[in-house]
Amino acid sequence: MAKAKSAYVCNDCGADYSKWQGQCSACNAWNTLTEVRLSSAKSTGARGARFEGYTGSTNATQVQDLSEVNLADMPRFASGSGEMDRVLGGGLVPGSAILIGGHPGAGKSTLLLQTMCHLAQQMPALYVTGEESLQQVALRASRLGLNSQNLKMLSETSVEQICTTAQQLKPKVLVVDSIQVMHVEDVQSAPGSVSQVREAAAYLTRFAKQTGTVLFLVGHVTKDGSLAGPKVLEHMIDCSLQLEGDSDGRFRTLRSHKNRFGAVNELGVFAMLEQGLKEVKNPSSIFLSRGDQPSPGSLVMVVWEGTRPLLVEVQALVDQSHMNNPRRVAVGLEHNRLAMLLAVLHRHGGLQTGDQDVFVNVVGGVKVLETSADLALLLSVVSSFRDRALPQDLIVFGEVGLSGEIRPVPNGQERIREAAKHGFRRAIVPKANAPKQSPEGMEVVGVSRLSEALEAL
């Protein structure tokens, strides 16, 4: 009997090696190599399509001009959820592979079950569950009040059996929940291992491309929030979505980290209710639930998420520190950027916070990734330090440089119009973003230095 061959694959980047080593030479990560057993030549030969790539193309193709490619062959169709369609770039594309990740309890299965129950009334749909029994899924659908007619269900973990059943039913949409429990017969390792996840995802993705089926894959995440499994999993799929939100929170955010059919970092907001996840068409309204009385350290800023502006509240608390090293805590913002901005405030704003604890929080659990929140963050810190509340009709955005200059941000005019729509009457913005004619009933103050912004308060 021939000895089974094995290789070692990095969990982070997917690089493979013939023998184990402590550090991956490709991504420099430590202790990320795991053993993968290679299938024999006989078994792989029986499934020769394994080496055809992820596109599923097995026939000889002809060279075409890019202008001659017919886009009508891949028409989008709506998923039934406007927020999901926004994140996906306008709807579902036939033959696309979509990966949805999130922490346990975030609502991945609930969101997909709602979507599938809606699509099943218009087209063939198949929901494959490998973690739950059919009775558990039916119980959830009954609790949410969903129309479960016409939705085909299958409880299976064998990838080959799933594809065989799908070839018979010919669904337009296929959900596999989850990819970590699926297994391929030819791979001699446990479900959830690097090799099983990689081969199962490649097998299902190839099937979706060949048949024009929309494929949803549910993925688990690790402790740090990254997707569990090999890095190559994110390369072979078309869209990578992340459903975020605390299990005890009311709202969930759906964000795209990779999208071959639309904008990246698009954001969709859902509210978790007794009837399931309901889309929030005006996310700014839910993040602006402020009290009637103005409080020091509270300020509203305009951030840009994907293709639309979003109004969120940032809160700062500055208090006397009783430790040798004052604390710097940022929730929803980058911790290193907070430390840098406090240094700019000291040098160019004349405000010393070296002996103060500084806590900054973005209300609603929103994660702000862009630099347009710099100016609003500093002004909220100044407001808390001076114990002086800012007007509730004030809006602020702008990037702050290390020399104290206020840099312009993209889509400044759209941000100002969104703020005026929600009743804000005063805005402090970068001078380059200030419009020639302010919106009716709104005063726009353009500033070019941090000192000018502090004087405008």
DSSP run (H or E) holding 35 = strand 33-37
Query: Is residue 291 marked as binding?
Result: no
pLDDT tens for the chain, 457 residues long, are 456 677 888 877 778 888 899 998 888 889 888 777 665 544 444 344 444 555 655 555 678 898 888 877 678 999 999 999 999 999 999 999 999 998 888 899 999 999 999 999 999 999 999 999 999 999 999 999 999 899 999 999 999 999 999 999 999 999 999 899 999 988 777 888 887 888 899 999 999 999 999 999 999 887 666 776 667 788 889 999 999 876 667 888 898 989 998 888 788 889 888 889 999 888 887 777 666 788 999 999 999 987 889 999 999 999 999 888 999 999 999 999 999 999 999 999 999 999 999 999 998 778 898 999 999 999 999 999 999 999 999 999 999 999 999 999 999 999 999 999 889 999 999 999 999 888 988 999 999 999 999 998 8
Query: Is residue 4 marked as binding?
Result: no
Closest CA to 49 of 137, 148, 160, 147: 160
3-state secondary structure of 257: strand
Pairing of strands 394-396, 426-430: parallel
What are the CA-CA distances from residue 370 to residues 213, 334, 359, 456 (Å)?
Answer: 35, 10, 19, 24
Q: For residue 365, what pLDDT is reported?
A: 77
Closest CA to 362 of 446, 244, 274: 244
What would the DSSP string read from start to end of 109-141?
HHHHHHHHHHHTTTS-EEEEESSS-HHHHHHHH
Q: Which residues is 153 bridged to in the sheet?
A: 127
Query: Is residue 106 marked as binding?
Result: yes
Q: Which residues is 449 bridged to in the sheet?
A: 405
The answer to whether 235 touches 117, Cβ cutoff 8 Å, is no
To which residue do tokens 């710097």 refer? 328
DSSP 8-class letter at 48: G
DSSP 8-class letter at 263: -
What are the CA-CA distances from residue 309 to residues 283, 301, 383, 419 (Å)?
Answer: 10, 10, 24, 9
Closest CA to 286 of 110, 137, 422, 120: 422
Residue 378: count of CB within 10 angstroms of its CB: 26
Q: For residue 57, what pLDDT is reported?
A: 56
Query: Is residue 441 marked as binding?
Result: no
Query: Is residue 103 marked as binding?
Result: yes
Domain made up of 286-456: CATH architecture: 2-Layer Sandwich (3.30)
Query: Is residue 346 marked as binding?
Result: no
For the chain, give every residue range classified as CATH 3.40.50.300: 76-281
Query: Is residue 446 marked as binding?
Result: no
Query: Is residue 109 marked as binding?
Result: yes
The CB-side HSE value for 295 (13 A sphere, CA atoms) comes to 10
Q: What is the CATH code for 76-281?
A: 3.40.50.300
Q: For residue 84, what pLDDT is reported?
A: 93
Name, in order, each residue with C-beta under 8 angstroms of 414's C-beta and a sequence gap of 6 or more: 309
Helices 159-169 & 194-211, crossing angle to 10 degrees? 10
Q: For residue 46, what pLDDT is reported?
A: 39
